[in-house]
Chains A and B, each alone.
Chain A
Amino acid sequence: MLLTARSLRVLSSDFRLLDLGWPAGEPDPAPGQFVMVRTREGTDPLWRRPFGVHDFRRGRGGAVLSLLFQVVGPTTRELAACGKGAVVDVLGPHGRGFTLEAPEHWLVAGGRGLAPLYYLARLARRAGRPCRVFLGGREAGHVLRVPELERRGCAVEVSTEDGSRGRRGRVTELLERGLARASRRRRAGILVSACGPHGMLAAVASVCAAAGVRARVSVDPLMACGRGLCLGCTVRAGEGYRLACQHGPVFDAAELSWEAP
Chain B
Amino acid sequence: MTPDLAVRLGPLALPNPVMLASGTCGYGLEMAPHGDLSALGAVVVKGLSLLPSPGNPPPRIVETPSGMLNSIGLENVGLAAFLAEKLPKLRRLGARVVVNFYGGCRADYRELAARLDGAEGVHALEMNISCPNVKLGGLQLGQDPREAHRVVAAVRRATRLPLLVKLTPNVTDVRVIARAAADAGADALTLINTLQGMAIDVETRRPALARTVGGLSGPAIRPVAVRMVWQVRQALPIPIVGCGGVWTARDAIEFLLAGATAVQLGSVNFTHPGRWVEVVAGIGEYLRRHGVARAADLVGKLEPWA
B269 contacts chain A at the CB level, 8 A cutoff: yes
Interface class of chain B by DSSP: loop
Number of interface residues of B (CB under 8 A): 31
Interface class of chain A by DSSP: loop
A210 contacts across to B, CB distance below 8 A: none
B273 touches A227 (CB 8 A): yes
- Cα–Cα, bound, A261→B204 (Å): 12
B267 contacts across to A, CB distance below 8 A: 46, 224
- Cα–Cα, bound, A233→B23 (Å): 14
B67 contacts chain A at the CB level, 8 A cutoff: yes
A228 touches B61 (CB 8 A): no
Could you tell me the distance in whole angstroms from the C-beta of A193 to the nearest C-beta in chain B?
A: 23
A182 contacts chain B at the CB level, 8 A cutoff: no
Q: Mark B79-97, 1 if CB is under 8 A from A, else 0.
A: 0000000000000000000
Could you tell me the distance in whole angstroms from the C-beta of A236 to the nearest C-beta in chain B?
A: 7
B70 touches A232 (CB 8 A): yes
B24 contacts across to A, CB distance below 8 A: 229-230
Q: Mark B8-31, 1 if CB is under 8 A from A, else 0.
A: 000000000000000111100011
B270 contacts across to A, CB distance below 8 A: 47-48, 224-225, 229-230
Residue among B23, B25, B63, B64 with max Cβ neighbours from chain A (10 Å) = B63
B68 touches A224 (CB 8 A): yes
A38 contacts chain B at the CB level, 8 A cutoff: yes
Q: Tell me which of A46, A233, A234 contacts B218 (CB under 8 A).
A: A46
Q: Mark B46-74, 1 if CB is under 8 A from A, else 0.
A: 00000000110111111111111010100
Q: With A38-B271, A48-B271 given, is the CB distance from A234 to B26 under 8 Å?
A: no
B70 touches A240 (CB 8 A): no
A180 contacts chain B at the CB level, 8 A cutoff: no
A26 contacts chain B at the CB level, 8 A cutoff: no
B26 contacts across to A, CB distance below 8 A: 228-229
Could you tell me the distance in whole angstroms from the C-beta of B208 to the nearest C-beta in chain A?
A: 9
A231 touches B75 (CB 8 A): yes
Could you tell me the distance in whole angstroms from the C-beta of B270 to the nearest C-beta in chain A?
A: 4
A43 touches B61 (CB 8 A): no
A261 touches B67 (CB 8 A): no
Q: Tell me which of B30, B62, B64, B219 contacts A228 (CB under 8 A).
A: B30
- Contacts A224-B61, A229-B30, A236-B57 supplied; 8 other A-B pairs, CB < 8 Å: A47-B68, A91-B273, A222-B61, A227-B273, A229-B26, A230-B61, A230-B270, A233-B61
Return 15 A-B CB contacts under 8 Å, by A number: A44-B66, A46-B64, A46-B68, A47-B63, A221-B59, A222-B59, A222-B63, A224-B61, A224-B68, A228-B26, A229-B270, A230-B24, A231-B60, A231-B75, A234-B60
Which 10 A-B residue pairs are closest in the complex by CB-CB distance? A232-B61, A225-B270, A43-B66, A224-B270, A234-B58, A43-B219, A44-B66, A231-B72, A232-B60, A229-B26
